[in-house]
Amino acid sequence: MALRCRVWNRYDELPERALPVRAGITGSPLIVQPTKIVPAGYAATAPRPPKLKVFALDWGEKETGAPAVSKRFYCVNKGPHDMTVNFEAWLSPPDPDLNGVTCALTKLIVDEDAEFVSVDILGQGEKCGEKGPFTVVPSGDVVVPKLGGQRQFEVTYSYRGKPRKFVGAVVGTHSVRGPGANANRGLKLELGCAATKNRVGDVDADAPERDAAARRAVAKPVRVRINDAFHFTSAGPPMQMKPLLVRMQATAFSPRLTVDERENFRWRCYSPVDVSDGSYYKSVTLTNAWAKPLGFKMSIGGPFEITDVVSSVPQLAFDRETSFVACARARAAAKVSKPPPKISDVDFVLPAEENVHVTMRFVPPEPDEDDFGNPIHDDATLDGGLVLDYDNGTRDVQTFKLLCEYLHPALEVNVQEIDFGKVHCAAKTLSARRLTLTNTGEADAEWAMHFPRWMHRVGMAGSVFECVPASGIIPGTGPHGKPRSVEIEILLDAKKPERYASALTFKPRLGRGCSVVVQGEGTLDEEYEGQIMPRFEPIDDA
């Protein structure tokens, strides 16, 4: 291309001159776009698109181990030459502020003559390669045809590691396709020397000698390479084209449901209370706070059971009902009834921001027995777990620990033995002794007095010894109360002049009891006939 100039002076016009001009276009003829055909008015291709409309591939929130998901983009060549492009996936360092990883290195470039300062930024990313989680297909050098030709590229996301957020870009390096398109256009010349009669090497002699030396001479070529150059008024050399960028991001998370009331995973149950009481039941609400639906199965372990599950959305396993109990009732009322599904076999699907309300019950285990076959009612802390098994490819499991304090009443007496001494068989007033019975447990003690199997004169102890009152209820301490007590009077009615001995056992229902050894001797000795036995204020037997 030539620039023609005409110059005038004051007197006449100077001849026209043609100045050669070399022009070029900066930038790249390749563009990337999210669709194969871009409709008119599409925001991403507007002359000045908004900053929020930057083209990017966003996978959003994906469970770890979920099936691979692919997204596409297209590379279009607007130039007059075929182009070769190579796309690679790069990742930014994870959590740079926390791990102390430098995302990029910066360097200031100062031009004192032009009074200009520029910043050179070198990224410190990580190439995905075979590790992932992003892979680009096709890989390697790909030819994009000229004059509107396009190629499709596919980026696949797949990850099975720990939860984290991925931020990166697909970087495309490209060049003009063709032999020597980007090579140095140097001119290579090869000059060879021939034998001469004037001078060959350093030989300087007569004609015969020169002829002999010429015949022995070898023509050695001289190789010269002449590189091209640019005139100081011509355009500069072609600059390296800026890489193509397609931003991408994804957040890998372990599927988890959030709980509203974690304290409802703890029970405090009293053994005398019936299992139908509300203290044996707890309810929690599990919510899907992620933007993706979650599929899972639910089971429970330990001395616990699930009594009902109410979903905020209908479930296929519940015959499109939202409640497990409603499903069971509907099947029972149907003409062709079938048993309701087991909770552990139900596949729950919970969309984003939806929840399930789970009702659980503590089931008291069977007590252990001692060597004599008597049940052992000791306080115990029993644990279990509510388990959610997610269907995300890696079978992630979320466990909520369940804990129950199973408490029993415990009775104690202030004396271990009562001795009545000698008691006249015909005494008008029965001999009496008192003791204090205390409930040290948190649960209420519904107690009763029992005679054991061993006693003197079997069958007589029940008619000789008497306990007033013989049964009752002693309130428990509760979580923060004090032990409660009752006064009990033991009477001895000697029938015959012989010795009586027994052990009175105070047993609470589903609790720990205690025993008192009582003994006395009946006599006909007149010394004890008129003796006034000790009496106390009457005990209310209510």
Tell how far CA 504 is from the center of its chain.
Answer: 59
In this predicted model, what pLDDT tens digit does every residue of 52-95 receive, in sequence order? 345 688 888 888 877 888 999 999 888 888 888 888 888 876 65
Quote the CA–CA distance of 331 and 341 in Å, as a whole number. Answer: 10
3-state secondary structure 257-316: CEECCHHHHEEEEECCCCCCCHHHEEEEEEECCCCCCEEEEEEEECCEEEEEEEEEEEEH
DSSP, collapsed to helix, strand or coil, labels residue 328 as: helix
Asked whether the beta carbons of 390 and 334 are under 8 A apart, the reply is no
- The single residue listed with the structure tokens 């009074």 is 115
In this predicted model, what pLDDT tens digit does every residue of 36-48 receive, in sequence order? 877 665 555 444 4
DSSP state letters, 114-160 = TTEEEEEEEE--EE-TTT-SEEEES-S-EEE-TTTEEEEEEEEE---
User: What is the model's pLDDT at position 96?
Assistant: 46
Measured in degrees and rounded to the nearest 5, phi and psi for residue 73 equal: -150, 165
Quote the CA–CA distance of 155 and 90 in Å, as a whole number. Answer: 12
- The single residue listed with the structure tokens 């991925």 is 166
Strand partners of residue 168: 91, 248
In sequence order, which residues have a C-beta less than 8 Å from that of residue 33 and are 6 or more positions away? 44, 45, 55, 73, 74, 76
Kindly report the pTM of this predicted structure.
Answer: 0.64
Task: Look at residue 325 and tell me whether its pLDDT is greater than 50.
Answer: yes
User: What is the model's pLDDT at position 184?
Assistant: 47
pLDDT grade for 383, boundaries at 50, 70 and 90: very high
Quote the CA–CA distance of 513 and 507 in Å, as a whole number. Answer: 4
Asked whether the beta carbons of 288 and 355 are under 8 A apart, the reply is yes
Quote the CA–CA distance of 166 and 399 in Å, as a whole number. Answer: 27
pLDDT grade for 179, boundaries at 50, 70 and 90: low
- The single residue listed with the structure tokens 């892979």 is 135
User: What is the model's pLDDT at position 108?
Assistant: 66
pLDDT grade for 360, boundaries at 50, 70 and 90: very high
Measured in degrees and rounded to the nearest 5, phi and psi for residue 45 equal: -110, 10
DSSP conformation class of 353: T
Strand partners of residue 486: 437
The top-scoring range by mean pLDDT among 27-31, 101-105, 225-229, 383-387 is 383-387
Quote the CA–CA distance of 216 and 203 in Å, as a whole number. Answer: 12
Shortest CA distance to 398 belongs to which of 264, 294, 256?
A: 256
Percent of the chain at pLDDT > 70 equals 67
Task: Look at residue 388 and tell me whether its pLDDT is greater than 70.
Answer: yes
In this predicted model, what pLDDT tens digit does every residue of 505-531 receive, in sequence order? 999 988 999 999 998 888 887 776 655
How much is the CA Rg of the chain, to the nearest whole Å? 50
In sequence order, which residues have a C-beta less than 8 Å from that of residue 401 and are 6 or more positions away? 265, 383, 384, 385
Asked whether the beta carbons of 446 and 274 are under 8 A apart, the reply is no
Quote the CA–CA distance of 328 and 346 in Å, as a whole number. Answer: 13
Asked whether the beta carbons of 460 and 425 are under 8 A apart, the reply is no
User: What is the model's pLDDT at position 202?
Assistant: 47
Six-digit token string for 307 = 């009594």
Q: Which residue has the higher pLDDT, 404 or 371?
A: 404
Give the DSSP H/E element, type plus range, for residue 539.
none
pLDDT grade for 49, boundaries at 50, 70 and 90: very low
Strand ranges for 177-270 from DSSP E? 187-192, 221-226, 244-253, 258-259, 266-270
Tell how far CA 155 is from the center of its chain.
Answer: 25
Domains in the chain: ranges and CATH = 30-98+124-180+240-251 (2.60.40.10), 187-226 (no CATH), 258-307+343-407 (2.60.40.10), 411-528 (2.60.40.10)
- Scored b (16 or more CB within 10 A) or e, 489-501 reads bbbbbbeeeeebb
Asked whether the beta carbons of 452 and 506 are under 8 A apart, the reply is no
Percent of the chain at pLDDT > 90 equals 21
The rounded mean pLDDT for the chain is 77
Task: Look at residue 232 and tell me whether its pLDDT is greater than 90.
Answer: no
Strand ranges for 327-367 from DSSP E? 348-350, 355-362
3-state secondary structure 439-471: ECCCCCEEEEEECCCCCCCCCCHHHHEEEECCE
Give the DSSP H/E element, type plus range, for residue 173.
strand 164-176
Average pLDDT over residues 489-506: 87
Return the number of other C-beta atoms located less than 10 Å from residue 439's C-beta. Answer: 24
Shortest CA distance to 119 belongs to which of 105, 99, 138, 133?
A: 105
Shortest CA distance to 360 belongs to which of 404, 294, 320?
A: 404
Task: Look at residue 189 and tell me whether its pLDDT is greater than 60.
Answer: no
Six-digit token string for 91 = 């990742």
